């Protein structure tokens, strides 16, 4: 409900997406991922399979997310830039 998914984005099988998310252009989300509510994913970001992202997370463009994100904040390549 209320999600924006821009062109070129690829979402694989069994991905669960929360509400009020925004995915930039050419985002790739691999299988069995779980995206929480109010998640913003910048353009050209790759999210590995079996990864969970909690609510209220922003991921900078061009990031590669290989492990789950468990705390709200702003992230680049699984490194927290700013905690919320």
Strand partners, 5: 23
In a domain, 46, yes or no: yes
Six token digits for residue 50 = 């079996």
- Number of C-beta neighbours around residue 40 at 10 A: 16
Write down the pLDDT at residue 84. Answer: 79
Active-site positions read 13
- With respect to residue 82, please indicate whether it lies within any of the assigned structural domains: no
Say if 62 falls within a structural domain.
yes
Whether residue 24 is contained in a domain is answered as yes
Structure confidence at residue 56 (pLDDT) = 98
Residue 69 lies in a domain: yes
Residue 81 lies in a domain: no
Please provide residue 72's backbone torsions phi and psi, each rounded to the nearest 5 degrees. -60, 150
Predicted confidence at residue 1, as pLDDT, reads: 72
- Say what the pLDDT of residue 20 is: 97
pLDDT values of the chain reduced to their tens digit, one per residue, 84 residues: 799 999 999 999 999 999 999 999 999 999 999 999 999 999 999 999 999 999 999 999 999 999 999 999 999 999 999 987
Q: Tally the domains of the chain.
A: 1
Domain residue limits at 15: 4-73
The CATH number given to whatever domain includes residue 23 is 2.160.10.10
Count of Cβ atoms closer than 10 Å to residue 1 Cβ: 8
SS3 at position 27: coil
């Amino acid at each position: 409900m209320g999600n924006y998914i821009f062109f070129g984005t690829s979402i694989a099988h069994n991905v669960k997406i929360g509400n009020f998310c925004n995915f930039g252009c050419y985002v790739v989300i691999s299988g069995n991922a779980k995206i929480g509510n109010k998640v913003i994913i910048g353009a050209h970001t790759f999210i590995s399979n079996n990864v969970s992202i909690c609510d209220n997370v922003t991921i900078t463009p061009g990031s590669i997310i290989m492990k789950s994100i468990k705390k709200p904040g702003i992230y680049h390549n699984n490194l927290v830039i700013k905690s919320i």
